[in-house]
Amino acid sequence: MDKGGKGGLHKSKMKSRRTARKSRTSKTRASLSEAAGKTIDLMGTTARYKRTEKLFNEGDKAAYIYKVESGCIKTYNRLKGDRRHIRAFHLPGDYIGLESHTVHDCIADAIAPSVVRLINKKQLMARANSDIALLKFILGVTSSELMRTRDHKALLLKDAESRIATFLLEIADRDSRRGKIGMPMVRQEIADHLGLTFETVSRILWRLERSRIIALPERHDVVIKNATALKRMSA
Amino acid sequence: MDKGGKGGLHKSKMKSRRTARKSRTSKTRASLSEAAGKTIDLMGTTARYKRTEKLFNEGDKAAYIYKVESGCIKTYNRLKGDRRHIRAFHLPGDYIGLESHTVHDCIADAIAPSVVRLINKKQLMARANSDIALLKFILGVTSSELMRTRDHKALLLKDAESRIATFLLEIADRDSRRGKIGMPMVRQEIADHLGLTFETVSRILWRLERSRIIALPERHDVVIKNATALKRMSA
DNA sequence: CGTGTCATTGATATGGCTCAAGTTTTGTGG
DNA sequence: CCACAAAACTTGAGCCATATCAATGACACG
């Protein structure tokens, strides 16, 4: 796993090219101040990351906050025995590292080719010191993140089937496309996110497919054929 | 379980008596703006709650934020099959409900006789609209809460022994008393907090006692006799 | 001093993990 | 574009940690 990206912190990979067109604001974010969001968007520069490339490592000084513009980023921690805990898969519109720390407390890798906006944290926080709207925006994002984390914690108390049903409904909800749902992460990553093994993930996905609740036309695509059943299982 | 407190929302139990003397500021909170904290403390009124009494129910309009001044409050959700998930045990100095919701997304009960400060949320938020220091304080508390929630999520990926070791170290860290650590919650509540059954909690506590790592002189007191061993197990 | 709650302890069941092949897909260099 | 290696995935069998079921013991309180 993780071949290549040894300790390679971002070199001089900044480009000022404006690549904001694909930015999709999620439902949760939509309720937050749009103006303050724009303030943030205008501040940074964008960078491209290849699959498996690191945005930052655990312990790195947290100099930037990151906004995903396209692709998918995972944030995770290493655990005992080459196990990992994936906190979240970040899709376009998501912010990473907005909660105040001086040092990153997790690792962030691109799991698909991604464009990310980097905003200087010191600069942003200085601005927030006199910009109430911006500060409220940051509070809003942090608050949403707290809720998401609570939901994910609750998920870890359910059985394997419920976890996967919940996960599928969540990615379906976040993916704009109708019909096929993009699932850019591999089985091992789903497992690390849900606190399961990849064998269990594989077995349960197969079980769901056999019972016609989902279809798996491609490794990275799911079709939800019976959302009602999935919702029932996820409870 | 939960005999008595049917749906009894707080009646007219406000008293303006100042009961702040026992308030203890935890380490995490200490780094946050003291002035803004005082602003909050001056705003509310205090109320007393008996053991098992409800502060609020899931679905209640979130009219107040709560600051624990003495005692211990649990916040939790009901799950399928009369199971519950206890989010946190709140000790003196902790804030409850500061993250913005219009409706409470959990239940809060006193697990020991407690004094709690109630601050009108609308009033507080109105004030925060023009008080940057207060807003930053709220962001700080929310941010700490996010970190705590992340830590607790990570805990749920460990095995039963690690969870209990981590839990014991955490309550030891939060309890000021030297030696004996107060553990006001019953076994079932520890289990509901750690995602275990009370039988497993009981068995593991006994195992730790047998191996001289802890002592359990009373049902609600623990003595940590070998913190090093506990720390090793908690990893 | 009896009744209910909480805790301890034992016996058994089981969901998901581990280990082990074998298969399919993806990526890479020629 | 093909061949080959590596990575990802599927499937099976057995096992283990923790849940579940069950019985008993110890307080605490009216």
Range of the domain at A198: 160-234
- A12/A147: higher pLDDT: A147
Cβ burial, residue A212 (10 Å; 0-12/13-18/19+): exposed
pLDDT digits (tens, 9 = 90+) for A122-133: 999 999 999 999
The CATH number of residue A211's host domain is 1.10.10.10
Assess whether A81 and A136 both reside in one domain.
yes
Query: Which residue of chain B comes nearest to A83, CA vs CA?
Result: B157
What pLDDT score was predicted for residue B41?
83
Q: Is residue B37 part of a domain?
A: no
Query: B112 and B96, same structural domain?
Result: yes
Q: Return the closest-CA partner of residue A224 out of A162, A173, A188, A186.
A: A173
Residue A12 lies in a domain: no
Is residue B85 assigned to a domain?
A: yes
Token pair in block for residue B98? 């500061």
Question: How far is Cα B155 from Cα A77, in angstroms, rounded to an integer?
Answer: 13
Question: Same domain for B126 and B194?
Answer: no
Any idea which residue has 């008996």 for tokens?
B50
What is the per-residue pLDDT across A152-169, written as a single tens digit (0 to 9) for each? 999 999 999 999 999 999
CA A73, CA A109: separation in Å to the nearest integer?
Answer: 6
pLDDT of residue A81: 84
Same domain, A101 and A194: no
Would you state the pLDDT for residue A162? 98
Both B86 and B172 in one domain: the answer is: no
Q: Are the C-beta atoms of B89 and B112 separated by less than 8 Å?
A: no
B201 and B149 housed in the same domain: no
Total of domains in chain A = 2
DSSP summary character for residue B95: E
Rounded CA Rg of chain B: 18
The average pLDDT across A130-141 equals 94
Q: What integer pLDDT is reported at residue A32 of this predicted model?
A: 53
**Whole-structure pTM value:** 0.87
Which residues of A lie inside 8 Å of B (Cβ-Cβ)? Answer: 77, 79-80, 85, 87, 99-100, 105, 129-130, 132, 135-136, 138-140, 142-143, 145-147, 149-150, 152-154, 156-157, 195, 235
Residues A82 and A164 in one domain: no
Measure the CA–CA gap between B46 and B75, rounded to whole angstroms. 19
CB-to-strand D contacts below 7 angstroms? A 1, 3, 186-188, 198-199, 201-203, 205-206, 216, 219; B 159-161, 195-197, 199-200, 219
Does B144 lie in the same domain as B81? yes
In a domain, B142, yes or no: yes
Tell which of A154, A178, A198 closes a domain: A154
Listed in sequence order, the residues at least 6 apart from B226 whose beta carbon sits closer than 8 Å to its beta carbon are: B212, B213, B214
Number of H helices, E strands in chain A: 8, 9
A59 and A111 co-located in one domain: yes
Do the Cβ atoms of A77 and A58 come closer than 8 Å? yes
Q: CA A83, CA A79: separation in Å to the nearest integer?
A: 5
User: What is the rounded average pLDDT of the residues A187-196?
Assistant: 98
- Judge if A119 and A54 occupy the same domain: yes
Last-in-domain residue among B154, B186, B204: B154
Decide if A125 is inside a domain: yes
Q: From first to last of the 235 residues of chain B, give the pLDDT tens digit.
A: 333 333 334 444 554 444 333 333 444 444 455 677 778 888 899 999 999 999 999 999 999 999 999 999 999 999 998 899 999 999 999 999 998 789 999 999 999 999 999 999 999 999 999 999 999 999 999 999 999 999 999 999 999 999 999 999 999 998 867 778 999 999 999 999 999 999 999 999 999 999 999 999 999 999 999 999 999 999 8
Based on the domain organization, do B79 and B171 belong to the same domain? no
Residue B24: burial class (beta carbons within 10 Å; 0-12, 13-18, 19+)? middle
Length of chain A in terms of residues written: 235
Q: Which amino acid is at A212?
A: R
User: Above pLDDT 70, what percent of chain A?
Assistant: 84
Q: A21 in a domain, yes or no? A: no
* CATH number of the CATH domain containing B102: 2.60.120.10
